[in-house]
Amino acid sequence: MSAVFDVPEGGAWAVLGTVLVIFSILAVVSAGYGSSILPAGVTDLLVAKNLSEGGESEGKSTTVNDGSGLLATDFFLSARASTGTFGIAMSFFASGMGAWVVYGSTEMGALPQLSWLGILGYSIASSIPGVFVMWLGPLIKKMTEGERAFSTTDFCRVRYGRVMQLSCAAISVFYMWIYLVAEFTSISNVYALLVDRKTVDYDTYPATQVNVWYTSVVAISIGSATLLYTAVAGLPSSIVTDKFQGIMMAGLVLLLTIVVLAVKENRISSAEFALASNWTADGFYAMVTLIIAIICAELFNQATWQRVWAAKDNTAMRRGFGLGSALVFLLMMFFGIMGMIGYANDPESYDTAAKYAYLAFFDLLLPLNQGWHVMVLIFVTALAASSIDSLQNGITCMLSADFITFLASPSIIKWLNRGVLLAVNIAAIVKSGQRLNVLGLFLVADLVCATAVFPVFLGLIPTDGKFKFLSPTELGAFLGCIGGIATVLIIGCVYDYETYGTKPFEFFWLKVDEQCALCGTTKMWTFIITPIGSMLVTIIVTTADIMIRGEEKARKPLFTFAFDKKEGDEEVEEKASNDKIFEDDHSA
């Protein structure tokens, strides 16, 4: 057995280039085929908004040359009403499972203090957002009916106003940017590991600084390729490539399972496995933390919400997300169990930090020959590309409804979106060069999202009826988000005033246990208290707002632009209509 991986650098570049070229060709070809004919769902919406010149288009397909070209722009951004159950399932599965999965759940399995409950927590947490979207998706689509919508930022615009729209957009961009940083970091680390380039311990080994350039080039390559084909082909192409990536991932996982377990160096006894498989209190704390954290974060992942509008209908959407969630759960369980097997193979090395828990899956791969190592590179590259292109599309969609409203030229809209996306990608690639811990990156983003999850989604509650006190005004929702941030700062000061009293925002990084990122109760209670704190502030401020300004005025947006269509009494009437939709949907 070799002590290190020995994939030639030239071979690694060949894998990276080949996989990216294949996906780019798939994307561009699918875009050329799919964009020439648009589904009726796209034209119906735009005709209703008086943005198409053409007469009777309802129920018919329409070419991209109809009207002003905004039909094609809408489809480019949303793939509206075009995707069936299998497409939604594969897209949710592939886009959510990036290169980070070879580290995350594996680390849970290779830490005996977390073990089974840590693995189950990560697996449930990663899959359950799809279940939430199955329920929330149809409600949000109905509340934005008659409006051009691509994401939950548009829901916030319709339900609340501009302040909450921009707040939701800022939180979503931050989360997806962190997700991009984690993806670029993960894929760069995998390539460096398999070609035997060190990417850590710069202070101890200054010579390894030269490897920063190598890993940065990997990140730049995959970021540029996905950026180019999403800029050309948009969301429809991402959904097409997701289908191939999802099938590829499932097949390679099956092959790797057979091969890894068949190698004699990886065989373990039942007693050895029992040493790695535990049910612990720390595992329970990690499970609770992960479930709350990931639900909060994924509800701000606009790449996921795009699939709600891309589905042909609510039935396809619900079934697709259900199937995709099941596949996500199984993949996360697979990597978690691989981590447990890795620990059981050599517990002493993991206990003494001679081996790192997050690399346990790769320790199992060492006995395999070079061909299998190349296969793993193909697998991980597909994982990374599927997540990165989905995140890139998710970022472009958030303010696109306003871009379309403000700008007459579809080409200007696309180039403006591309400019924003390019800036976000450059920032993510630069940040990934710092080689930050992937789990730590996700935790800080999760905590930011936890400050706003209730203020945003309590907006689905009707503004009349016995639960109307839970339905926020825009002022209540916005100050609820601020209250969530204040809650985190207060928790940090209570936890360790000496450290966080003068620099309270550093507590967002949750660096309370460097040895085990999810052990102990501090993170769990932080993720329990933070959303509750923001919810209480939202309810209290909403109640006071209505008492002071009156129901009618308090329910209006805090401010409107001159081009906003709904003002005054029309907004009140719209909210009443939305409330009726909510009640009818739930009574059904």
How do residues 543-556 score in pLDDT, each as one tens digit? 999 999 999 899 99
The residue-averaged pLDDT of 176-201 equals: 85
pLDDT for 32: 60
Mean per-residue pLDDT of the chain? 82
Amino acid at 249: M
Please report the pLDDT score of residue 270 as a whole number: 87
Structure confidence at residue 571 (pLDDT): 46
- State mean pLDDT over 170-197: 90
Q: Which residues does 557 contact at the CB level (< 8 Å), separation at least 6?
A: 160, 161, 162, 163, 474, 564, 571
Integer angstrom CA distances of residue 54 from 40, 60, 173, 517: 13, 12, 36, 58
Of 33-42, 180-189, 380-389, 396-405, where does mean pLDDT reach its minimum?
33-42
SS3 (DSSP) at 512: coil
pLDDT in tens, 127-168: 999 999 999 999 999 888 877 788 899 899 999 999 999 999
Q: Residue type for 565, please?
A: K
Is the predicted pLDDT of residue 1 greater than 50, yes or no? no
Q: What's the whole-number mean pLDDT along residues 562-566?
A: 60
- Can you give the pLDDT at residue 216? 85
For the entire predicted model, the pTM comes to 0.86
Residue tagged 């398999």 (tokens): 194
What are φ and ψ of residue 145, in 5° steps? -60, 135
Q: Return all residues near 412 (Cβ < 8 A) that are at least 6 apart.
A: none
Q: Which residue has the higher pLDDT, 464 or 139?
A: 139
pLDDT of residue 323: 94
Question: What's the rounded mean pLDDT across residues 456-464?
Answer: 90
Average pLDDT for residues 378-389, to the nearest whole number?
Answer: 89
Region 26-30: mean pLDDT is: 80
Residue 85's pLDDT is what? 92
- Using alpha carbons only, what angle is made at residue 485 by residues 482 and 488, rounded to the nearest 5 degrees? 150
**Closest by CA position to 381, among listed 88, 183, 104, 93:** 183
Cα distances (Å, whole numbers) of residue 335 to 5, 223, 340:
20, 25, 9
Bigger pLDDT: 250 or 224?
224
Least confident window among 202-216, 253-267, 293-307, 330-344: 202-216
Percent of the chain topping pLDDT 70: 82
pLDDT of residue 210: 55
Write the CA distances from 547 to 233, 469, 533, 551, 568, integer angstroms: 50, 11, 21, 8, 19
Q: Which two tokens stand for residue 320?
A: 């697709």
Q: How confident is the model at residue 254 (pLDDT cuts 50, 70, 90)?
A: confident
402-418 pLDDT, tens digit per residue, is 666 665 555 666 667 67
Structural domains of the chain, ranges and CATH numbers in brackets: 9-435 (1.20.1730), 451-588 (no CATH)
Task: Kindly tell me if the per-residue pLDDT of 51 is higher than 90.
Answer: no
Whole-number pLDDT of residue 514:
58
Region of residue 562 (phi > 0: left; psi between -120 and 50: alpha; otherwise: beta):
alpha
Return the closest-CA partner of residue 524 out of 282, 175, 279, 295. 282
Secondary structure of residue 102 in the 3-state scheme: helix
Element (H, E) at 488: helix 474-495
